[in-house]
């Protein structure tokens, strides 16, 4: 067998490796925080050689940017999905409350990642762009059923309630959330 045919029989490069690294970065940031996340911890989480990170990315900021972009698109995508399934304004209000009151396992991780992104974006211009894209996507989803002014207000309530319920021992109840949304819309 010649060298050329031997090369053609090799397994293809790992096509999902870059995406695995990005997903691993999110898990690592959620577990350790941005300040304690490094190339090695991401590589270990992804199950890839350390050199893979420098092959696919120019540095940690690029990895963090890709990871936070993926995260923001995921959250705003879920909001868009629940709102696009609402058939009218009343169902949309309920959908917003359902989104806010979500108590699934991934919600805590989302909160941690949100805080990490807020903090990181406050010091790095590029990451502010990710935040602005996330806000715009959320508002576009809300504008499926609400005016632009209502969408901005409801988006602020979503952010505020989420932060409050993640940090306060006195949670805002589902009924209180519904009352806020009803008053704003």
The correct CATH number of 15-184 out of 1.10.357.10, 2.30.30.30, 3.40.190.10, 1.10.10.10 is 1.10.357.10
State yes or no: pLDDT of 137 exceeds 70.
Answer: yes
Mean per-residue pLDDT, 164-172: 86
* pLDDT, position 108: 81
Mean per-residue pLDDT, 109-125: 89
In whole angstroms, give the CA distance from residue 167 to residue 162: 9
Q: What percent of the chain has pLDDT over 70?
A: 94
* pLDDT, position 3: 52
- Tell me the angle at which helices 60-84 and 17-32 cross, rounded to the nearest 10 degrees: 90
Q: φ, ψ for residue 23 (rounded to 5)?
A: -65, -40
Q: φ, ψ for residue 38 (rounded to 5)?
A: -135, 175
Angstrom distances, CA of residue 17 to CA of 34, 50, 53, 61, 155? 21, 12, 9, 18, 35
Domain boundaries, the chain: 15-184
Q: How confident is the model at residue 2 (pLDDT cuts 50, 70, 90)?
A: low
In whole angstroms, give the CA distance from residue 61 to residue 88: 41
């Amino acid at each position: 067998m010649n060298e050329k045919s031997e090369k053609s029989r090799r397994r293809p490069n790992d096509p999902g490796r870059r995406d695995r690294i990005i997903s691993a970065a999110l898990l690592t940031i959620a577990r350790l925080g941005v300040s304690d996340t490094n190339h090695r911890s991401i590589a270990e989480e992804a199950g890839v050689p350390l050199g893979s990170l420098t092959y696919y990315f120019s540095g940690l900021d690029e990895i963090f940017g890709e990871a936070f972009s993926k995260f923001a698109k995921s959250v705003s995508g879920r909001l868009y999905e629940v709102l696009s399934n609402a058939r009218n304004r009343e169902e949309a209000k309920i959908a917003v409350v359902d989104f806010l009151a979500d108590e699934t396992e991934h919600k805590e991780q989302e909160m941690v990642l949100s805080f990490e992104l807020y903090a990181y974006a406050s010091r790095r211009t590029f990451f502010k762009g990710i935040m602005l894209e996330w806000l715009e996507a959320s508002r576009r989803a809300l504008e499926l059923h609400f005016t632009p002014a209502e969408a901005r207000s409801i988006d602020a309530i979503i952010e505020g309630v989420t932060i409050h319920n993640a940090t306060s021992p006195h949670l805002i109840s589902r009924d209180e959330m519904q009352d806020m949304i009803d008053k704003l819309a």
